[in-house]
Amino acid sequence: MKFLIISFLVMLSQFSETHSKSKLEKKLNDLKKQTVELHNNIISNNKELKIIKLDIDRNRQKQIIYLRYIKDKEVLGKRLFFLLQERLYVSEISRLLKGMQNSSNYFVSKQIIRGFFFNQVKVGIDNYFQSFENLKVVNQDLENKLYSYKEKKKKLNTELQNLEKKILQVSLLQKKFIANPEAKKREKKVKKSAKNINELVKGVKVPKLKKKKSITTRFQMPLQASIVSEFGQNKADKIFKNGVIFEVSEDSFVASPFDGIIVFANKFKSYGNLVIIENDNGYFCILAGMDNIIISSGNKVFKGEPIARISKKLKNKLYFELRKNGKIINPKSKVEIL
C-alpha cells in the first residue's frame, strides 16, 4: 500500500512537472511568434520608409527645378517690359522714320523677329505661371510625404521598443526552459575539439532518434541588406565562397532563416560570433559576423525570429551559409524575400 502511494505521488509529481514545462513551452513559443511578427512589421515599415524617403528626395529635386525655371523666366519679364516700353514711348512717326532709314528687308526681318519674340514671351509667361501651380502641388505633396515619414518613423520606434521588451521576456523564459539541453553540452565539447567549420557542423548535429515525416522547409533571408559577395564569388577564399555576405546600412537584427533548433551559438576561431541552426529536413544554416548573439544553443527558433544584432557603426558584415544533408548550397536558391 505504501509503495502504491509513493508511486502515485511520483507519477503525480512527474505529471505536474511535465504539465508545467508544457505550459512554459507554450508561453515561450507564443512570445517568440510575437517577436517574429514584430520583426516582420519592422522590416515592412523600413521598406515603406525608404520608398517615402525616395519620394521626398524626388519632390525636393522637382522643387529645385521649378524654382530655377521660375527664376530663369524672370528674364522674360524684363524683356517684355522693354518691349512694352518701346511700344509706349516710341511714336508711330519716329518708328516710321526709323524704318525708312533702314532697308526694307531689314525692317521686315525686324518685325518678324519682334513678333516671334512676343510669341516666345507669351509662351514663357504661360509656363511661368504653370510652374507656380506645379510648385504648389509639389510643395503640398512634399508636406504630406514628410508628415507620413515622421509618423512611420514614430511607429517604427514604438515597434522597436516593443520588440526589445519581447526579446528580453524570451531570454528570461529560455533560462527556465531549454528544448534540447544536450545541445549546450555538445557545443562546449565540440568548440574545443573542432579544427574547422565542417568538424563543428558534424559535432553539433542533433542525433535523430527516429525519422520524422518530411515537411516543407520555408526560408527567408536572415537580413534585409545589400549583398556584397555572392555565393561562389570569392574563389580565393575557401571560407567565404560557400555563402553570401551582407553589408548593413543601419543597425539591424539578424533573423533565423527557417524553423529549427540552435545547435551552436558562440565564438569560433576567425568567424567571431557564430550561430548554427539545424532543422528536421537536414538543413544547416551558418551565420557569422554578428555584433552580439541574443539566443543560446538548445533553444528552438522560428523563421524570422531575431537571434542576433549587427552594427553599422562597427562595420559588421554578415556571412550566411546554407547546407542540405552536408552539401553546401546557394542560399539564394532557397530563400524568399520578404
Domain of residue 321, CATH code: 2.70.70.10
Residues 273, 153 share a domain: no
pLDDT value of position 264: 96
The answer to the question of residue 266 being in a domain is: yes
145-161 burial, b at 16+ Cβ within 10 Å, e below that, comes to beeebeebeeebeebbe
The answer to whether the pTM exceeds 0.85 is no
Q: How do strand 252-255 and strand 306-310 relate by DSSP bridges?
A: antiparallel
Domain with 256 in it: 181-333
Residues 195, 157 share a domain: no
Residues 212, 164 share a domain: no
- The angle that helices 2-89 and 104-176 make with each other, rounded to 10 degrees, is 170
The answer to the question of residue 138 being in a domain is: yes
The answer to the question of residue 200 being in a domain is: yes
Least confident of 74-78, 153-157, 182-186, 222-226: 74-78
Among 126, 144, 176, give the residue marking a domain's end.
176
Among 176, 202, 237, give the residue marking a domain's end.
176
Rounded to whole angstroms, how far apart are CA atoms 331 and 230?
A: 10
Among 123, 147, 176, give the residue marking a domain's end.
176
* pLDDT tens figures, 189-204: 898 899 999 999 999 9
Residues 124, 153 share a domain: yes
The answer to the question of residue 40 being in a domain is: yes
The answer to the question of residue 10 being in a domain is: yes
* pLDDT tens figures, 49-62: 889 888 888 888 88
Cα dist. 300→26, 125, 183, 303, 323 in Å? Answer: 12, 70, 11, 10, 19
The answer to the question of residue 338 being in a domain is: no
Amino acid making up residue 297: S
What's the total number of domains in the chain?
A: 2
Residues 195, 166 share a domain: no
Domain of residue 144, CATH code: 1.10.287
The answer to the question of residue 53 being in a domain is: yes
* pLDDT tens figures, 67-112: 776 666 655 555 555 555 554 444 444 454 455 455 555 455 555 5
- Of the candidates 160, 157, 316, the one whose C-alpha atom is nearest the C-alpha of residue 248 is 316
Residues 120, 106 share a domain: yes
The answer to the question of residue 329 being in a domain is: yes
Residues 153, 7 share a domain: yes
* pLDDT tens figures, 239-295: 557 889 999 888 899 999 999 999 999 999 888 999 999 998 889 999 999 999 999
pLDDT value of position 334: 74
Residues 189, 323 share a domain: yes
Residues 188, 168 share a domain: no
**Which cell numbers in the block locate residue 91?**
511714336
Residues 300, 317 share a domain: yes
Rounded to 5°, the CA angle 230-235-237 comes to: 95
Residues 201, 171 share a domain: no
Residues 226, 91 share a domain: no
